[in-house]
Structure 1
Amino acid sequence: MVQLSREETFLLLTCRPDLTPSDDVRLQRIVDSDLDWSFVLWRAESYQTLPLCGFHLNRLALLPRTPEWVVHYIHMWSQLSKARSEVQFRRLGELLGHFRACDLEHYLFKGPLLAALLYSDPALRPMQDLDIMVRKADVWRVQKELYRLGYQHGVFNPADGVFTHMFRKITHQTLEHKYALHSVTMVEEIRPKFDTTLIAPEWRTRQIKSFVQDDGSVRMPVFVDIHFSLGAGMEEVDVWRGAGPRRLLGREVHCQSLTSVLWFSAARIYFEAYQHGTLKLQMLGDIDALLRLHAEDIDWPELLAVAGKYGFSAAIFYVLEQVRRLFDAPVPLKVLALLMPDQQGRPDEADFGDIVPKLLSRTVISDLQLA
């Protein structure tokens, strides 16, 4: 058994929007211990879970027992993140309305859907961009409509707030091995209700790309990712399976199905960690929340079929088994047994082992003994 540190336990607890009473007791005990807050803030910022840290500390009346500089850091980072979320969701509403008016088939998924669907306050779940799925045959029309709205391909420089336009031509050849277009961006100027001189430059160049101008206003880029598949080689019928309208943030929005949300999120957190070194503990909290709120809506046979068809059963096994063990999330044991890699079967090239040590950047060597 691997004994997690107090810091690792704090991070695992606060990556989730909803905790159990026993989780609350554990979190209170940890906060009252000798916690390495510098390490916690560094990792929580990279995971983008600082707003949830602040939420739970406030909910449990633990802020007075937390060092003042820690509270200030969490508060300021979360305010800047919330300002970005407000801009993002405002632009998202405009985008989805325009797509409907243009009769462009689409659905919402990834960060925007997870934030709106699973969190009492969507600002508790920061997101880097807005993700929208469209039909592959419509990508040329979609690009044209995005440019008509003011979005452009290019690069935003947080060092000076300048956006450099770089048009990307779509061809059948460029689409052949991709599942998304190059990101498009719209830069918006906002005037936050807090002192922007207190925004650390490092925040603006890492998770919250932005630029503070001399007059205190902030140039905030809104990044939009247009997808036409969930992965290379995936059949369109599986990409769109179950997608449909759902009441979200007071309006009807076409969304990815909950079953697809689950398998896609589990596969994504796993492969992004092992293949790209992108550690998204935040998504472990997403999956836990999805299972707690919508377990009855998951089509488990469909999940098993898709996982087997595209070869990511092992990835989903390690993720779901850990949210079950760590958080007591409701995952059917029969499903886990069918997902679990078979030691006597053909080695799975997509089986990299347990996900949690990787997410925590923890080196784990099993203590083995010969028979």
Structure 2
Amino acid sequence: MNGKINFDSSSISNELKFLLDCLDNETNKQVPISVEPNLDWNLFLKLVRHHRVYPLIYTKLKSAKYIPATIIQSMFYDYQKNTFKMLKLSGEIEKISRLVFENEISTLFLKGPILAADLYGDISQRTSSDIDILVNIDDLDKVESLLIQMGYVKDEYIQTVLNDWKWRHHHFVYFHAEKEIKLEIHWRLNPGPAKEPTFNELWQRKKVSSLPTSYPIYCLGNEDLFLFLTSHGARHGWSRLRWLVDIDRLCKTNLDWDKIMSLLKKYQYSHVAGQTLVLASQLLNTPINKKAKQLTTGSRSNQLAQEALFYIQRFINLHDEPLSEEIASYHKKHLFSLMSFQNKMLFILSFLHPYFEDTITLPLPRKFHFLYFPLRPFLWFWRKTRIQEMS
């Protein structure tokens, strides 16, 4: 590729182009001057909401005379609602931080108000729907007990056999009905079976969040945060521009790129980081560090970035199930293409481990669950045959 980025964004709509123009260098509050005369402002508002960037866009465009007043008013309502939400989440984070601190449980807070405070300097400038906390897997029971005392209820949606939850999944979900707060307790940064830093490694490299609280709130060090935000955004197809804006903000901090390059190599995320930086530089004009430019010139990084436009141009919510057959098929293939060769092998081998569906196909007493290992191919074949007969 001759050391150049090969990325074609010509297919994106004028409304999305204008949104990207507003997000480009968004710390400059100047309103974009050049605007397409026939922009569909309702579509623009839909894009702003879908990509969860209305706090930034409202702040920049609130005084723009060429935007219909109803659009500005809608964005103000979203901005105001989000501010109250972030204040509520921040208060809850302080309560949880105090509780785990008093019980000597090490925790790392991810995303949400923590990210807003550290990268945006103002919790009102980023959206978040929940609280994410990373803990050592050995402390899960302790943390759950504390959450139950606080009034949280666990969503028992994970179905597991032979403890496959420990590596197939990465978090449990809890809800507080009265406070209307969703909380995720992570024991991994991403679903397995891919290799990633241990909690103890992340804890050793932690930093204290700038979110003002009476108890210290610990979060990922910036280099680990880059690895996490990169893998998280890629896994979701960068379907929300909010995640790419996080990367843009993080890249403008004082990152140790030698350390980042070492982490990317160790956990085989170089091509994923390349995808991330291609998207950020081409869509948001994010400056790329000299040491990181090599990540953006590989054909694989550029191809993955091009594939991500499928998500960015559409209103895709991967949590809105069931997904259409087209989106589900595309996402399945894209996730596989994101994996390194080693992780692809691990993923394929993971199919040899029993799934919960096997216990439904052939119920066995728990003490005989080990038999699902040799029976797995036959049970899988039986289910596939039944599905074909019913279709």
Aligned residue number for residue 330 of structure 1: 287
1:127 aligns with 2:125: no
Question: Aligned AA for 1:279?
Answer: S
> What SS does the aligned partner of 2:196 have?
coil
Aligned residue number for residue 92 of structure 1: 93
Candidates 160, 163, 175, aligned match of 1:185: 175
1:264 aligns with 2:228: yes
Moved more, 38-47 or 351-360: 351-360
> What SS does the aligned partner of 1:98 have?
helix
Moved more, 328-337 or 126-135: 328-337
Question: Aligned AA for 1:266?
Answer: T
Shift of 1:309: 2.3
Which segments of structure 1 move beyond 4 Å, counting only runs of 4 or more?
166-172
> What SS does the aligned partner of 1:259 have?
helix
Native 8 Å contact 1:51 1:124 kept in 2: yes
Moved more, 34-43 or 318-327: 318-327
Question: Aligned AA for 1:361?
Answer: Q
Shift of 1:185: 1.1
Candidates 40, 43, 62, aligned match of 1:39: 43
Alignment of 1:1-371 (within 5 A): 2-3=9-10, 4-15=12-23, 18-20=26-28, 24=30, 27-30=32-35, 33-58=37-62, 61-62=63-64, 64-154=65-155, 173-188=163-178, 221-231=180-190, 232=192, 233-236=195-198, 237-249=200-212, 251=214, 252-273=216-237, 279-292=239-252, 294=253, 296=254, 298-338=255-295, 340-341=297-298, 352-354=304-306, 357-361=309-313
Alpha-carbon distance in 2 for matches of 1:44, 1:247? 27
Instruction: Report Cα offsets for 1:127-149 as digits up to 9, x if no partner.
Output: 12101111111011111111011
Native 8 Å contact 2:171 2:188 kept in 1: no
> What SS does the aligned partner of 1:185 have?
strand
Shift of 1:109: 1.5
Question: Aligned AA for 1:249?
Answer: P
> What SS does the aligned partner of 1:357 have?
helix
Shift of 1:358: 3.3
Shift of 1:265: 1.0
> What SS does the aligned partner of 1:183 have?
strand
Question: Aligned AA for 2:34?
Answer: R
Question: Aligned AA for 1:316?
Answer: A
Instruction: Report Cα offsets for 1:146-197 as digits up to 9, x if no partner.
Output: 101111113xxxxxxxxxxx59899981542245332111133xxxxxxxxx
Shift of 1:289: 1.4
**Structure 1 residue ranges without an equivalent (≥5):** 155-165, 189-219, 363-371
Shift of 1:290: 1.7
Shift of 1:2: 3.8
Instruction: Report Cα offsets for 1:21-64 as digits up to 9, x if no partner.
Output: 8xx46x2322x733211111111111111222111113xx31x4
Tell me the number of residue pairs that the alignment of Structure 1 and Structure 2 aligns.
Answer: 301
Aligned residue number for residue 388 of structure 2: none
Alpha-carbon distance in 1 for matches of 2:221, 2:230? 14
% of aligned pairs identical? Answer: 20
Aligned residue number for residue 195 of structure 1: none
Native 8 Å contact 1:16 1:288 kept in 2: no
Where relative contact order (Cα < 8 A, 6+ residues apart) is larger, the structure is: 2
Higher strand share: 1
Question: Aligned AA for 2:106?
Answer: E
> What SS does the aligned partner of 2:26 have?
coil
Native 8 Å contact 1:180 1:228 kept in 2: yes
Alpha-carbon distance in 2 for matches of 1:140, 1:170? 17
Alignment RMSD (CA, Å): 2.9
Question: Aligned AA for 1:52?
Answer: L
> What SS does the aligned partner of 2:210 have?
strand
Aligned residue number for residue 382 of structure 2: none
TM-score, length-scaled by structure 1: 0.72
Question: Aligned AA for 2:93?
Answer: L
Alpha-carbon distance in 2 for matches of 1:178, 1:361? 30
Higher helix share: 2
Moved more, 230-239 or 299-308: 230-239
> What SS does the aligned partner of 2:275 have?
helix
Shift of 1:91: 0.9
Instruction: Report Cα offsets for 1:82-130 as digits up to 9, x if no partner.
Output: 2222221111111111111111001112223211212243122111210
Alpha-carbon distance in 2 for matches of 1:2, 1:175? 39
**Structure 2 residue ranges without an equivalent (≥5):** 1-7, 315-391
